[in-house]
Structure 1
Amino acid sequence: MLNRTVLVGRLTKDPELRYTANGVAVANFTLAVNRPFSNQQGEREADFINCVIWRKQAENLASYMGKGSMVGVDGRIQTRSFDNQEGKRIFMTEVVAESVQFLESRNSNQGKQGGQPGNTSNQAQQSNQGGYQPQQQSQSKEQNPFEDSGEPVDLSDDDLPF
């Protein structure tokens, strides 16, 4: 049997970070995932999928991602039920995320004014078609060369090792 889910979408609001009585971090979030087709009016619709993630990854998600951030989720679908305050049985289906990939930097989604989602710098992308900009010589050797500069990376299939 197999229960595997892979999603790419945007957070509909900031993740809700909480801690269990034992001190384990848990974050709930909702992911808006576009459907691959248009409706009869020619509009694209989205599904809003409830997700939960645990421990350090929950803390990282809450610290570094917010409303509108694009993330990739790898996990499994889980159903559960509980009784609400009125005694009514509530059934929930959610994705239990085993890993969340941050698909854009924290501030790349801030300050966008009608631009394409995920594309923060058209000019930089057009002037650098290879997607790689060499580090300047004046920078310290101690800086992380893999640190995200906030600009999208343009990769072709030829760049991938597999």
Structure 2
Amino acid sequence: MNKVVLIGRLTKDPELYYTKQGIAYVRLRLAVSRSFKNSLGQQEADFINCTAWRKPAENIAVYCKKGSLIGVTGRIHNSHYQNEEGKKVYNTEIIADTVTFLDRKKVEA
């Protein structure tokens, strides 16, 4: 079973892209707090790359910004490619199946 559940904050404003076939996607990085503090008593975080597709991607682009708290349910995806020097580069990311917005919407007067 390949299932991941994350809650974290966006590290930058999301940017919406489209494939040549017109499918929407957004790449984002989540700062996910660890469940423990380091030896200095500081909270640390992991920075995890995620990709959302289609309608969830469009919703993220419209409703989220840097610092937004979201929940992601998805799967781990590993890939690799050869760079210009011929060296194999490995990439691990989360492919989001569902995204939940966890911030309360602020009402401006």
TM-score, L = length of structure 1 = 0.62
Alignment-mate amino acid for residue 82 of structure 1: Y
Q: Distance in 2 between matches of 1:42 and 1:6?
A: 25
Higher strand share: 2
Alignment-mate amino acid for residue 20 of structure 2: A
Q: Distance in 2 between matches of 1:60 and 1:34?
A: 24
What do you get for the CA RMSD once the two structures are aligned? 1.6
Q: CA deviation at 1:105?
A: 4.0
Partner of residue 128, structure 1: none
Q: Deviations over 1:82-140 (max 9, x none)?
A: 2334443221100000010011145x4xxxxxxxxxxxxxxxxxxxxxxxxxxxxxxxx
Q: Distance in 2 between matches of 1:86 and 1:62?
A: 35
Q: Distance in 2 between matches of 1:66 and 1:88?
A: 35
Helix, strand or coil for the counterpart of 1:32? strand
Determine which structure has more spread, i.e. the larger CA radius of gyration. 1
Q: Distance in 1 between matches of 2:86 and 2:24?
A: 27
Structure 2 unpaired stretches of 5+: none
Q: CA deviation at 1:16?
A: 2.5
Closer, same or farther: CA 90–16 of 1 in aligned 2, 3 Å: farther
Q: Distance in 2 between matches of 1:85 and 1:55?
A: 31
Partner of residue 40, structure 1: 39
Q: CA deviation at 1:14?
A: 1.1
**Pairing 1:61–2:60 present:** yes
Q: Distance in 1 between matches of 2:84 and 2:72?
A: 31
Aligned length: 108
Partner of residue 78, structure 2: 79
Structure 1 unpaired stretches of 5+: 109-148, 151-162
Partner of residue 95, structure 2: 96
Q: CA deviation at 1:63?
A: 1.1
Q: Distance in 1 between matches of 2:12 and 2:87?
A: 27
TM-score, L = length of structure 2 = 0.91
Q: CA deviation at 1:17?
A: 1.5
Q: Distance in 2 between matches of 1:97 and 1:72?
A: 10
Helix, strand or coil for the counterpart of 2:59? helix
Query: 1 or 2 for the larger relative contact order (CA 8 Å, sep ≥6)?
Result: 2
Identity of matched residues, % = 52
